[in-house]
Structures are given as C-alpha cells and as structure tokens.
Amino acid sequence: MTTFDAFQKEVASWVDECLGPESAADVTIRVHRFVEEAIELAQAVGCPKKDVLALVEYVFARPVGDIYQEVGGVTTTLTALCNALSLPLGWAAETELQRAWDKIDFIREKAKKKPSFGDHEPSEIQEALEIYRDENFVYRVRAMHLAKLRRVLQILRSIGFTDAEIGEKAGVPADLITATREGMYEKASGE
C-alpha cells in the first residue's frame, strides 16, 4: 500500500465520522468542497479572482476529461505547486487531517452552513450577489417586488449567508428577513 492509499483511507474514516456516510458518498458535495479548497489555495498563493474566472471559462470550453487522468493531474500539479512553494505536501496534508480530527464538532457545524446552490441557476446566484454587494443594497431591497425579494433572499441563504448577516446589511431584524424568505408576508398579502 502506498502512502497515498493509507492517507486516503484515513481521510475516508474522518469524513465518515465527521459528516456521515451519506455526505462522504455524495459526489456533488465532495466536488464542491474540493473546488472550494482549490480556490482558497489559489487565493492564499495570490492568484487573482480574474485569473480563476478565466480558467473556469477555459476549462468549460473544452471537452470533459477522464476522471482517473484528472485525479492524476490534480495530484501531480498540487505536488508541483508545493515544490514551487518549498512546502512539504505530506506534512501539510497530515497536519490538516489531524487538525480536522481535533475539530470535528466545529467542522460539522460549519458544514451545515456551506453553500448548496440547490436549483438556482448561476445567473440567479450572480444577480443575488450583485444585489447584496451593491452599496445601495438597503434601497434596492426596499424597492423590490416581494416575490423577487423572497427569491433573492432564498438564493443568498442557499449560498451561505445567514438571515442575521442579510438583516444587518439591510438594516432590519433577522426575523424579518426570515419571515420574508419563508414567504410569510406573501401569504399574508395574498401575493
């Protein structure tokens, strides 16, 4: 058994213990977490967002690759990046896994808040984020049709924003955001 095989088994045990077998076997969740970590690494190294977005466009304009070859490519290029950074890959991986074992409860709670994206189209997510980031967010929210506002709030919630964060930015209590997002005002007004 190679060192990779032993490490893979240890990670499998951790994911099973921490997040449960259903999450461990969910390819969508696992690929989202992988992409998130890869982007965080790129950001930590100083890669600009525009480069990451350009690479997304480049990759998705090409034919879909073979999973085995792509796993090999990820492993090889991560190792090469670690070499360029003079960072010992094995040490970094083992240290992070030990940290994860030590913080299981914290990671479980954090996982509950991770974006799920659900049935939202990328353009809807982008629009909701643009609205949220707008310096005139408060005014845009107040001027928005109730059904549209509810959809924006649902999208923001699905990608990881809490009602408290949204409420603070909008200058309203979190319970008002929750009630709007859950459709309580639409039902009361008959919309």
How does pLDDT run across 1-55, given as a tens digit for each residue? Answer: 568 899 999 999 999 999 888 888 888 888 888 999 999 999 999 999 999 989 9
In a domain, 117, yes or no: no
Verify that 143 and 54 share a domain, yes or no.
Answer: no
Q: What is the mean pLDDT of residues 97-110?
A: 90
Verify that 57 and 151 share a domain, yes or no.
Answer: no
Verify that 46 and 93 share a domain, yes or no.
Answer: yes
In a domain, 47, yes or no: yes
Verify that 135 and 159 share a domain, yes or no.
Answer: yes
Number of domains in the chain: 2
C-beta of residue 45 within 8 angstroms of C-beta of residue 85: yes
Instruction: For the chain, give the percent of residues with pLDDT over 70.
Output: 90
- 66 φ/ψ sector (left φ>0, alpha ψ -120 to 50, else beta): beta
Verify that 85 and 157 share a domain, yes or no.
Answer: no
- Domain final residue pick, 112, 136, 171: 112
In a domain, 77, yes or no: yes
Verify that 24 and 100 share a domain, yes or no.
Answer: yes
Residues 20, 115: Cα–Cα separation, whole Å: 18
Residues 95, 75: Cα–Cα separation, whole Å: 18
Q: DSSP letter at 134?
A: -
Q: Please give the residue range of the domain that contains residue 147.
A: 122-189
Binned at pLDDT 50, 70 and 90, residue 115 comes out as low
Residues 170, 138: Cα–Cα separation, whole Å: 5
Q: What is the mean pLDDT of residues 74-101?
A: 95
Tally Cβ neighbours within 10 Å of residue 45: 10
Phi then psi for residue 162, to 5 deg, are: -90, 160
pTM: 0.64
Verify that 101 and 163 share a domain, yes or no.
Answer: no
Binned at pLDDT 50, 70 and 90, residue 188 comes out as very low
Of the candidates 189, 156, 187, the residue with the CA atom closest to the CA atom of residue 177: 156
